[in-house]
Every structure is written in C-alpha cells, then in structure tokens.
A = this chain, B = another copy of it.
Amino acid sequence: MNPTDKFVQKLRARRPVTDRQQTLIEGLSDDVRFHKRGTDLAETGEQPGESLLVIDGVSCRYKDFADGRRQIIEMNVPGDFIDLHAYVLNRLDHSIMVLSDCHVLHVPHEKIRDAMSVDVDLAEIIWHQTIIDAAIHREWVCSLGIRSATERLAAFFCELTVRLSVVGIIDGFRYPFKLSQSDLSDFCGMTHVHTNRTLGVMDRANLLRFRHEEVEILDWPALKEVAAFDYTYLDLPDGYALPFG
C-alpha cells in the first residue's frame, strides 16, 4: 500500500498508466503527515513549495472574506492531488484546510516537474487530471448558479459518490463521510440552518440520509433525477462501470 495508490487508481480510471509511470509517481515523496481537523495547510498569499495528495479524510480550498464569510471552493477526497500545478502561479489566491483529521502526502514541486520531464506521456496524464478538476468546477458553478438547495445537495452527493467509488473507497450506497453540516453549507453557499432543514426534507423523502458522519443514498435514481446529474463531466471512459447503476 503506497500513499499514491488511490491517485494512480484515479488516473487508471481514465487512461492506461504504465508500471514505469506508476514507479515514477510512487517515487515522488514518502513524506506522509497527519493533520488535525481545522488545520490550514496553506494560506492566501503564500508561495507554497509543495503539492498535497490527500490520503484519507477531507480537505478543501476556500476563500475568506473580510466580513467573516467563507466560501469553500472545492472539496478534496482521498486520491485528490491538490494544486498539482500551483508552482506556475505567483501566489496562492486561496487557502487550503483539512475539514476532518487527515493524512496527507507532501510532494515538493520540483519532484513533480522532474517526473513530468522524464516522461512526457506522464505529463499529459497528470495534466488531464487538472482539466478534469476544471470540469468539476464548471459543474459546481452550475450548482451555485441555478440549482435550488435540494438540487444542489443532491448534485453534491451524486458527485461525491461517483468520485469515492472511482478511487475504490466505497462500493455501495452507504459510507462514512466526516464533514460537518456547517462546512457543507459553506461549500453549497447556504446557511447551516437551511442545509439542515433541506437535509431533513430529503431524508423524509427517502432520497438521502446524511447524519452521524455517514452518507446513505436511499434512492439513487431519484437522487440523480433531482440533481439532473449527468457525470459526463467527470470524463470517465464510455462504458466505464461503476459498482452501482
């Protein structure tokens, strides 16, 4: 079990990865660190020297505003490589925080650059992930722009379920997920009160249950329907089989 395993699995879900490429990835770093929930891993304005690979737990990118409001921009789950390419930027325009206790692999930027220059195909595979991340952002823009509270939560849990299943963490409709309703609200752009009420409605409608740090998808087809969920944007190959419908 190498800390990069889930990342490689995510890559393999889209494209072939050779053993040589896998070895290159495994050689990137062995610097695994534990971070307690609520810890900032990078802060706005910094020029970080490393990228971060989530091994377990949940982390996020977020921006704080002067009046105390916070928007979570992106949620990261195991296998996600955060800021794979931050090294091309001058300074970070946002912060990164772990939303649950987390194990994270720290990878110096130059190691990534080296691996990509050694193997040009690997470079393209890695860039591919960055492009998929952009597609995930685009979908979330839609959620925030036109989806109602219910639709938005449905879209979130649909995407989460697919993403976790692609890295092999789950294979069904019931799984642990350590995220507070309050953090979820900051991602969804709604108040924690409204999130709570909406989750209550969805539970009673037998769509979805999220409590005690556990997600239970009660009716997957209905949930997809509510969200108008079409996971083309995750760029899985045509015919890629999810362990569920």
Contact = CB atoms under 8 A, between A and B. Distances in A.
Nearest to A186: B145
A109 B205 CA distance: 47
Interface string A108-136: 00000000010010001001101111110
A47 to B, nearest CB: 11
A235 B71 CA distance: 20
Interface stretch (A59-67, A163-171, A192-200): A59-67
Contacts of A70: 146
B131 A133 contact: no
A237 interface: yes
A interface residue count range (under 10 / 10 to 19 / 20 to 34 / 35 or more) = 35 or more
A45 interface: yes
B66 A228 contact: yes
A232 B138 contact: no
Interface stretch (A19-27, A49-57, A90-98): A90-98
A94 B138 contact: yes
Interface in A63-107: 63, 65-66, 69-71, 73-74, 85-86, 88-91, 93-94
